[in-house]
Amino acid sequence: MASKKIFGIVLAGGEGKRLMPLTADRAKPAVPFAGGYRLIDFALSNLVNSGLRQVVVLTQYKSHSLDRHVSQTWRLSGMLGAYVASVPAQQRLGKRWFSGSADAILQSLNLLRDEKPDIVVVVGADHVYRMDFSQMIEAHIESGAGVTVAAIRQPISLADQFGVIQTDADDPTKIAEFLEKPKNPVGLADSPGEVLASMGNYVFDADVLMDAVIRDGEKPDSNHDMGGDIVPDFVSRGEAAVYDLNRNEVPGSTDRDKFYWRDVGTIDSFFEAHQDLISALPVFNLYNRDWPIFSQQLNSPPAKFVRDEGGAIGTVIDSIVSLGVVVVGGHVERSVVGPWTTIGSGAKLSDSIVFDQVTIGAGAVVQRAILDKEVTVSPGAQIGVDHDADRARGFTVTDSGITVVGKGERVD
């Protein structure tokens, strides 16, 4: 990495309404993922693995479990000035909450004035991916741009789901236009069937970022959003560059998961991201020792799969099972099971995501469902089998047929 002082900002203040009821009692970045992680662990792991040692997490809504997770899990050695710290909305500019991601930075400019970095890396807190930001920082410095936007190639048919970057015809590293969910985009010159979608990750010169959010804060018609207001302003002045994730080389990555990135902001995308993990050759590989995803490792016993009193064997196929799980004569298939979950005799769990401390009783059936922590499924009960019955009991059912049971609920 270049010999400049780098500062990291993780934007973690969103409400996460599209992930309800999983965000009914927690911030979206604190939602459990893949058994033993929280969503924010991916952003923080990428920053720390990239060499950043001063990182703040800007929090706002229902932040208690998120703040606790950051303080307990992300303790760096303070002797060398290294830290990862949660910073709540401080109301330094008046009695108000953050009104957007750019306003969150505006209200937290004291952090930049105190640390005086040369470069600021700004990332979202709810994406699943691996990325070496040191390479993007080098590209940013070489470009001379005020901001560099990380982008990933996506099929042109999905362009209306993303902020799409159109590059300059003469300089493919320069952003010519930033389009929000376009209907008829132009494909890439070297790959007409693809577009460059913004990943929500940015590298700024620190003084340029400070000036940009101050100017944006003075605009009454602005939504004060990084992607919707700040970046387009740089593009309009010809001061924005793009960094194609295809240029990024992460140690230990495979051809299969090298350019994996997923926004898990909806129940369906959250579910699909878990399905990406469980195959023998996963689309996203958690077992990369060269670029680990860090999280809190609880003091828990190993998982255990045992016979029930009648001799039926507890079985697990194509699944991820966390520490402390006990499967007693039940069957688990194509699922992710969180810590300290118990699955009883004859129970069947398939195509599902289970958070921590869930109890699934004997003979119960759970299929294509997401169970939040401390959910109890009574013996013989069914969830995900009859969607009308699920809705009648007050559970969320998506259009694609995923049933979601909120924290602490009981399924009878």
Contacts of 330 (CB under 8 A, 6+ apart): 314, 315, 343, 344, 345, 346, 347, 348, 349, 360
Contacts of 29 (CB under 8 A, 6+ apart): 10, 12, 38, 39, 40, 43, 57, 66, 125, 126
Choose between 88 and 359: higher pLDDT: 359
Secondary structure (DSSP) of 113-150: HHH--SEEEEEESSEEE---HHHHHHHHHHHT-SEEEE
Residue 95 annotated as part of some ligand binding site: no
Secondary structure (DSSP) of 14-82: ---GGGTTTTSSS-GGGSEETTTEETHHHHHHHHHHTT--EEEEEE-TT-HHHHHHHHHH----GGGT-
> Would you give the end-to-end CA distance of the chain in angstroms?
56
Question: Which is it for strands 315-317 and 331-333: parallel, antiparallel or unpaired?
Answer: parallel
* 11-36 mean pLDDT: 90
Cα 403 from Cα 63, distance rounded (Å): 25
pLDDT in tens, 251-276: 999 888 888 999 898 999 999 999 99
With cut-offs at 50, 70 and 90, classify the pLDDT of residue 79.
low
With cut-offs at 50, 70 and 90, classify the pLDDT of residue 23.
very high
Candidate from 17-21, 80-84, 119-123 with smallest mean pLDDT:
80-84
pLDDT above 80 (res 84): yes
Cα 65 from Cα 355, distance rounded (Å): 15
Peptide bond into 21 cis (omega under 30): yes
Residue 181 annotated as part of some ligand binding site: yes
Most confident of 20-34, 272-286, 366-380: 366-380
With cut-offs at 50, 70 and 90, classify the pLDDT of residue 99.
confident
Candidate from 91-95, 160-164, 250-254, 384-388 with smallest mean pLDDT:
91-95
With cut-offs at 50, 70 and 90, classify the pLDDT of residue 90.
confident
Buried b (16+ CB within 10 A) or exposed e, 281-296: ebebbeebeebebebe
Question: In the prediction, which pLDDT does 172 show?
Answer: 84
pLDDT above 90 (res 279): no
Residue 116 annotated as part of some ligand binding site: no
pLDDT above 60 (res 100): yes
Secondary structure (DSSP) of 311-363: -PPPEEES-EE-TT-EEES-EEES-EE-TT-EE-TT-EEES-EE-TT-EE-TT
Radius of gyration for the chain, computed over Cα atoms and rounded to the nearest angstrom? 22
| 377 bridge partner residues | 360, 411
* No. of helices (H) and no. of strands (E), the chain: 9, 30
Cα 122 from Cα 306, distance rounded (Å): 47
Mean pLDDT of the chain: 92
pLDDT above 80 (res 215): yes
pLDDT in tens, 223-243: 898 988 899 999 999 999 999
The H or E element that residue 101 is part of is helix 101-106
Question: In the prediction, which pLDDT does 88 show?
Answer: 85
The H or E element that residue 275 is part of is helix 267-275
| 166 bridge partner residues | 177
Cα 328 from Cα 374, distance rounded (Å): 18
CA distances from 268 to 19, 203, 397, 403 (A): 9, 30, 10, 10
3-state helix, strand, coil in the chain (%, to 5): 25, 30, 45
51 Cα distance to chain centroid = 20
| Percent of the chain whose predicted confidence (pLDDT) is above 70 | 97
Alpha helices in 133-258 (DSSP H): 133-143, 206-217, 231-236
pLDDT above 90 (res 301): yes
Report pTM. 0.93
pLDDT above 70 (res 1): no
25 Cα distance to chain centroid = 17
**Structural domains of the chain, ranges and CATH numbers in brackets:** 6-275 (3.90.550.10), 304-411 (2.160.10.10)
DSSP one-letter code for 3:
S
Question: In the prediction, which pLDDT does 17 show?
Answer: 87
Question: In the prediction, which pLDDT does 94 show?
Answer: 65
pLDDT in tens, 25-59: 999 999 999 999 999 999 999 999 999 999 999 99
Question: In the prediction, which pLDDT does 96 show?
Answer: 72
Question: Structure tokens of 401?
Answer: 């047929």
Question: In the prediction, which pLDDT does 98 show?
Answer: 79
Angle at CA 322, nearest 5°, toward 320 and 325? 115
With cut-offs at 50, 70 and 90, classify the pLDDT of residue 156.
very high
* Residue 298 and residue 356 in contact, taking contact as beta carbons nearer than 8 Å: no
